[in-house]
Amino acid sequence: MVAIPWKKLPDVSWQNALKWTGYPAFFMFCFVLFAYWTFPYERLRDRLIEEAGERGYELEIIDLSPSRLSGVTLEGVRLVLPGKTGQPPVDVLFDELTVRASLFSALSDTKWFSFDAELAGGDVQGDVAIGEDNFAIEVEFSGIDLKQMPVLRRFTKIPVAGKLNGEIALTMPSEVGESNGSVDITIEGMSIGDGETKVEIPGWGGLTLDEADAGNLEIQATIEEGIANIERLETDGKDLKLDVLGNVKLARPMKRSQLNLMIKAKIEDGYKERYPKMATMFELASTGSDYEAALTPDGALQYKVTGSPAGRIRPQAVGKEPFKAPTKSAK
């Protein structure tokens, strides 16, 4: 066997090692810092406004600036959503909105973003994951003044006021039936109606509903395999008491979701005494057979509600039945 002579490696001092590794690291640091400082954020703001306009939205941004290494902060944001036929447009206002992207998610098909917003006197923060076939969100909000959010009228149709707090977590893959999550929401000092805005009520036309004190609304629900099970949805206000149990089978789009609910609502006599017009309306409504069928022994109205917001919602008067969650899953 022939011995191979071993050559001793030259001694390298830590100073030399630091010099040869430090120069490239320092160059990269300077490059990133220079790009961060010189990025044309004003052009980005103009581009966002232009893109919104092309999609039929009106967007205003007072200032756009960097946030850490992978995010931006927008101040004074106003987004105007076009109204549906016969309805005025809706303004969405953000005092400040910060959005950051996860650098690691750039290596995968699913992109992760975090956001933090100040709007309607409160705060909203959370994380969003958007993939080709999946969507996930975790969001927390506190102190949101619903009266300052006219966009809600698109969903409620009735003026609603109160302070919104809570959190929502939802994971929705391509198969909606595999969705999971939870909802825990409280609306403090909730009121319904304002005595000015007209609300379209079937059989009655446009009526103004005087403000009703609904107390604190609490909502708790779990989402398992695409079905949202309502464990608690109730309010115990001075004027309005509401209790809801049941489930909602989720679908895409959400307005096609199927309802399977038991709803119990009671308007207190004090509300009717304060607003004679409302008392007259309830008195006229009480002459129908459906009202009698919905009336419970304690003076509330109780209905089973099925159907879909995108199609037809079917209320069934069941005042003589015990109040409990429907056993049949929404279909």
Helix (H) or strand (E) holding 96: strand 90-101
Q: In this structure, what token pair is assigned to residue 248?
A: 């909602």
Q: What is the pLDDT of residue 197?
A: 74
Q: Is 286 left (phi over 0), alpha (psi -120 to 50) or beta?
A: alpha
**pLDDT tens, position by position, 23-63:** 455 445 444 544 445 556 677 777 777 877 877 778 887 88
Please give the single-letter amino acid code of residue 217.
Answer: L
In a domain, 48, yes or no: yes
Q: What is the pLDDT of residue 246?
A: 93
In a domain, 70, yes or no: yes
In a domain, 212, yes or no: no
HSE (CB half, 13 Å, CA atoms) of 259?
A: 20
Three-state DSSP at 304 gives: strand
Provide the residue range defining the domain that includes 39: 28-100
Three-state DSSP at 311 gives: coil
In a domain, 175, yes or no: no
In eight-state DSSP terms, residue 17 is H
Cα–Cα nearest to 69, from 28, 37, 107, 25: 37
Q: What is the pLDDT of residue 54?
A: 78
How many C-beta atoms lie closer than 10 Å to residue 63's C-beta?
13
Q: Tell me how many domains the chain contains.
A: 1
Residues 149 and 171 sit within 8 Å (Cβ to Cβ): no
In a domain, 33, yes or no: yes
Three-state DSSP at 43 gives: helix
**pLDDT tens, position by position, 162-185:** 999 999 998 888 788 888 999 999
Q: What is the pLDDT of residue 25?
A: 53
Beta-strand relationship, 160-173 and 180-192: antiparallel
Q: In this structure, what token pair is assigned to residue 75?
A: 């101040």
Three-state DSSP at 274 gives: helix
10-residue mean pLDDT profile of the chain (331 residues): values are 51 48 50 51 74 79 73 80 69 81 68 83 87 83 86 72 92 83 94 78 66 93 91 92 93 85 91 83 74 88 89 87 74 47
Q: Alpha-carbon distance 153 to 56, whole Å?
A: 20
In a domain, 162, yes or no: no
Q: Alpha-carbon distance 266 to 58, whole Å?
A: 41
In a domain, 161, yes or no: no
Q: What is the pLDDT of residue 9?
A: 47
Place of tokens 């409990």: 324
In a domain, 307, yes or no: no
Q: Alpha-carbon distance 194 to 209, whole Å?
A: 6
Q: Is 247 exposed, middle or buried (0-12, 13-18, 19+ CB in 10 A)?
A: buried
